[in-house]
């Protein structure tokens, strides 16, 4: 349900009172997941309250980790996956080897079926990637696998990925949600349209989706791997955070995400709710559409970069949750540039650059962001800080889907966003966010283009030597910073509120919700 802004403050007070006292209602969290056996750790319905709905349930068209969290490793699985230490592990492929620079061979599991009983085999892998790469389908995620020339069937349980050129991070993108294998019968049924009924091999089966309200999954009784410990999962859309957290206290839900910094301290005092925190691969940032005036002038972008006092933002807006960032990658990502220097706070330099660009008295612009407390607060601080150099900022806070759509179309000037990095490899960051081929929905909502950056990114993709790859990414990042395409803010911390008695929940560094091992006391 959506709570009107006018009563939001009253609800916040009520939630704080409940959390501080640890009160409970007649429906206790400990009784929800176990039916008649209240002490059981297995079975029941896991209810997750979320800020935003998925924009769709098709991996070939998803643009957010928020959406992918519903399906990745739950409905759909890839040939490989990452374990809890973010290391690549076998999943639907038992083993693999690189035969030469452009050929990778995968041996598939022979004991797997899709949710409707269709056998998983080499044909399913080929059908999935044929759909993804079909120009008529026009998937915005096709660019992630653009180096794949062909998926060749060797036999029923052996496939080869034939590449147009060497591509070192292949396994890392196969482990992301774009690599999820789709039932070929579903592809045949829905053709070029978005898949209406997600059908994969994962531990949960899709039941229903009421857009804007909830998505329901049920346990896959025929799952080939370790069975999940809950019978059902419900992802409920609850835009008001205080309501999300109150639902944990009343036993209506078990997990609420995201958890804002504003309520983190309050939740930590609760007798019935815990705070979950983990460092992510990604970062939050302030971006510029470099094709829109006046942001097509690098001097304007540098001026704004110099006018932002980030230390006070990290402390005042984020309460020192998530350390200050120097790039669009977190320190855990392969290719992170530790020595990269962001712009220092220097109002004199900012004013001088604006004057050189022809804006001695500043200008007016619009800053857009999604409906998130910290980002809305950050927008207000930026609005205040940029007044110091004569820039009047109009702030627009939008629902996530509307915000993403506007960014993807290039209908933006300045924006606050994040990039979580689904693979843990710099290529996912660099190619999606900065390569000329990635403008729009793929990720480059800066609409940035630099031939040398393109060359460095492409060279890093082909380079086998990890140390040399890291050097190439470092050079690319230095050019991007010199071009002032963005202002880094902070390394993302994944945060959620979790009811006591819920065990096994985590969030991957990429930001995917990990629920396959969750149990409810």
Q: Where are the domains of the chain?
A: 5-63+208-279+494-520, 80-190, 280-493
> H or E segment at 91?
none
Predicted confidence (pLDDT) at residue 257 exceeds the cutoff of 50:
yes
Whether 279 and 509 have beta carbons less than 8 Å apart is answered as: yes
- Fold designation for 80-190: Dipeptide-binding Protein; domain 1 (3.90.76)
Buried b (16+ CB within 10 A) or exposed e, 68-98: bbbbbbbbbbbbbbbeeebebeebbbeebee
Predicted confidence (pLDDT) at residue 3 exceeds the cutoff of 60:
no
Average pLDDT over residues 190-214: 90
Distance between CA 480 and CA 429 in Å, rounded? 12
What's the pLDDT at 442?
87
What's the pLDDT at 41?
59
CATH of domain 280-493: 3.10.105.10
> H or E segment at 324?
none
pLDDT in tens, 84-114: 888 899 999 999 999 999 999 999 999 999 9
> H or E segment at 418?
strand 414-419
Predicted confidence (pLDDT) at residue 8 exceeds the cutoff of 50:
no
Percent of the chain whose pLDDT exceeds 90 = 82
Q: Do domains 5-63+208-279+494-520 and 80-190 have the same CATH topology?
A: no
The residues, any chain, with a CB within 8 Å of residue 76's CB and separated by 6 or more, are: 59, 177, 180, 181, 182, 198, 200, 201, 202
- Fold designation for 5-63+208-279+494-520: D-Maltodextrin-Binding Protein; domain 2 (3.40.190)
Q: From the CB of residue 188, how many other CB atoms can be counted at a distance below 10 Å?
A: 10
Whether 256 and 245 have beta carbons less than 8 Å apart is answered as: yes
Termini Cα distance of the chain:
27
Predicted confidence (pLDDT) at residue 451 exceeds the cutoff of 50:
yes
**Beta-strand relationship, 506-507 and 486-499:** unpaired
> pLDDT averaged over the chain?
90
């Amino acid at each position: 349900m959506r709570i009107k802004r006018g009563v939001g403050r009253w609800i916040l007070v009520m939630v704080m009172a409940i959390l501080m006292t640890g009160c409970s209602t007649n429906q206790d969290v400990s009784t929800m997941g176990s039916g008649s056996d209240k002490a059981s750790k297995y079975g029941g319905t896991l209810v997750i309250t979320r800020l935003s709905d998925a924009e769709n349930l098709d991996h070939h068209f998803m643009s957010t980790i928020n959406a992918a969290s519903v399906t990745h490793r739950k409905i759909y699985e890839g040939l490989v996956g990452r374990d809890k230490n973010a290391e690549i592990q076998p999943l639907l492929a038992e083993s693999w080897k690189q035969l030469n620079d452009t050929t990778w061979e995968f041996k598939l599991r022979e004991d797997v079926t899709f949710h409707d009983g269709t056998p998983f085999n080499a044909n399913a892998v080929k059908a999935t990637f044929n759909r993804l790469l079909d120009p008529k389908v026009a998937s915005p995620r096709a660019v992630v696998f653009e180096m794949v020339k062909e998926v060749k069937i060797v036999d029923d349980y052996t496939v080869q990925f034939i590449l147009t050129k060497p591509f070192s991070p292949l396994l890392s993108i196969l482990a992301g949600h774009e690599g999820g294998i789709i039932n070929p019968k579903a592809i045949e049924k829905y053709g070029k349209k978005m898949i209406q009924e997600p059908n994969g091999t994962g531990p949960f089966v899709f039941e229903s989706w009421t857009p804007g309200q909830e998505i329901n999954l049920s346990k896959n009784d025929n799952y080939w791997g370790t069975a999940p410990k809950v019978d059902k999962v419900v992802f409920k859309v609850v835009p008001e955070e205080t309501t999300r957290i109150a639902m944990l206290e009343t036993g209506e839900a078990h997990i609420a995400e995201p958890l804002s910094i504003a309520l983190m301290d309050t939740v930590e005092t609760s007798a019935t709710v815990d705070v979950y925190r983990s460092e992510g691969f990604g970062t939050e940032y302030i971006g510029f559409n470099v094709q829109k005036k006046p942001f097509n002038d690098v001097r304007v972008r540098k001026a704004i970069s110099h006018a932002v006092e980030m230390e006070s933002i990290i402390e005042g807006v984020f309460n020192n949750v998530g350390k200050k960032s120097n790039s669009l990658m977190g320190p855990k990502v392969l290719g992170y540039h530790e020595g990269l220097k962001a712009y220092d706070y220097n109002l004199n330099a900012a004013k001088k650059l604006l004057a050189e660009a022809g804006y001695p008295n500043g200008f007016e612009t619009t800053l857009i962001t999604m409906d998130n407390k910290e980002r809305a607060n950050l927008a207000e601080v930026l609005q205040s800080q940029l007044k110091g150099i004569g820039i009047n900022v109009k702030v627009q806070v939008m629902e996530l889907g509307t915000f993403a759509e506007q960014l993807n179309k290039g209908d933006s000037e300045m924006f606050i966003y994040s990039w979580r990095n689904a693979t843990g490899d710099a290529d996912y960051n660099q190619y999606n966010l900065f390569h000329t081929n990635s403008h729009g929905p793929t990720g480059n909502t800066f609409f940035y283009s630099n031939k040398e950056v393109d060359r460095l990114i492409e060279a890093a993709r082909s380079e086998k030597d990890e140390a040399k790859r890291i050097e190439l990414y470092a050079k690319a990042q230095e050019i991007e910073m010199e071009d002032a395409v963005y202002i880094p803010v902070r390394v993302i911390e994944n945060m959620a509120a979790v009811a006591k008695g819920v065990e096994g929940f985590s969030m991957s560094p990429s930001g995917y919700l990990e629920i396959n091992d969750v149990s409810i006391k």
